Amino acid sequence: MKERITISVSSINGSRQFSLGRKSQNGLRWACSIVVIASLLTGGTMWYLVNEVDFAKVKQEELEKQSSSMNEELDALKLLKSDLESDLDERELRLSTVSDRLGELESLLGVSTDADTRLEVRLDVAAINSAVRLTILDSLPNGSPVKDARRSSLYGVRIHPITREKRMHRGLDFAVNIGTPIYAPADGVVETVRPSNKGSGNFLRLQHSFGFTSSYSHLQKFAVRSGDFVNKGELIGYSGNSGLSSGPHLHYEIRFVGRALNPSSFVDWGVDNFEHIFEKERKIKWASLINKVEQRVSMQLQLSSQRDAISLANSN
């Protein structure tokens, strides 16, 4: 006997019965299975999609955080770029100012350089020339040994004010009161300190570099002793009226390897008219002297640069 399933449906209108054969039962089972499987697949898909949405939200939050962080970094980089551009503009302005000032210094020093010459080279040349000038002006007598003094008797042949004889006056006289301070016109060493009431009176001589000497006569008293080393501008004595003198004054002489030179040329010499002395005293081999000083200065600058490099390396 074939199995059949009878389904009875009751309503107000009566009851109805449906009979399901084996084939219908199998179809119903398959339909239910498909519905269950479809439900499971739908549920699994929904669960997967929900998880994916949650994961996407997490990823979105992470990306938003990364985006915010990157925006902050971008803002910081923009600020850094602005600071660097401002610093670069400031450095370019300073460099332009340095170049202009260097041009003025080169003009003052009489140094000529090509327009394409690197700034470092120009600085080295200017530094050497400036250092050479300062070294020479520190080493050789220049400027007045007394302040604000009138020149009462110049270098050259004259009638001696006491003996009335015509003779060569190998120095320059400054009309100064007794006790006027006298200052060294250059670095040097005190060669002679000689007290006397005759001739040059109280006499002092300084020995400078490269064969130059300066001497001071008719002093009141000395401020240094023989063998003392003195710096340019240092007090060495006081003017007076000792020895063969017609009145208070300072007799000032400059000699080169024993030969008297006109002191006025050296008194008028300074950093503002450095070439002045080359025109006034042509018998001195200035080119050889400057070359020697340049070699010395270049070596000193090189040693100084090496010391700075070593100090910087040690500090790092």
Within 110-209, residue ranges assigned H as helices are 119-139
Find the helix or strand (DSSP H, E) in which 260 lies: strand 259-261
- Nearest residue to 231 (alpha-carbon basis) of 116, 139, 315: 139
pLDDT band at 252 (very low <50, low <70, confident <90, very high): very high
What single letter denotes the amino acid at residue 106?
Answer: E
Specify the CATH number for the domain of residue 231: 2.70.70.10
- pLDDT for the residue numbered 51: 86
- Residue 182: half-sphere exposure toward Cβ, Cα within 13 Å: 30
pLDDT digits (tens, 9 = 90+) for 65-85: 888 888 988 899 998 998 888
Phi-psi region of 83 (alpha: psi -120 to 50; beta: other; left: phi over 0): alpha
Where in the sequence is the domain holding 230, given as residue range(s)? 145-273
Q: What is the DSSP letter of 243?
A: S
- pLDDT for the residue numbered 164: 76
pLDDT digits (tens, 9 = 90+) for 120-162: 545 555 556 788 889 999 999 999 999 999 999 999 998 877 7
Look at residue 259 and tell me if it is in a domain. yes
Same domain for 168 and 254, yes or no, is yes
3-state helix, strand, coil in the chain (%, to 5): 50, 25, 25
Same domain for 256 and 150, yes or no, is yes
Any idea which residue has 């002093």 for tokens? Answer: 219
- pLDDT for the residue numbered 209: 96
Examine the pLDDT at 230 and tell me if it is beyond 90: yes
Same domain for 60 and 153, yes or no, is no
pLDDT digits (tens, 9 = 90+) for 187-212: 999 999 999 999 999 999 999 999 99
Please state the domain count of the chain.
Answer: 2
The two beta strands, 212-222 and 250-256, are: antiparallel
pLDDT band at 1 (very low <50, low <70, confident <90, very high): very low
Picking from 68, 87, 112, the residue at the C-terminal end of a domain is: 68
Look at residue 217 and tell me if it is in a domain. yes
pLDDT digits (tens, 9 = 90+) for 38-65: 888 888 888 888 888 888 888 888 888 8
CA distances 316 to 8, 239, 308, 311, Å, are 101, 56, 12, 9
Q: Note the pTM of the prediction, 2 decimals.
A: 0.62
Picking from 68, 88, 117, the residue at the C-terminal end of a domain is: 68
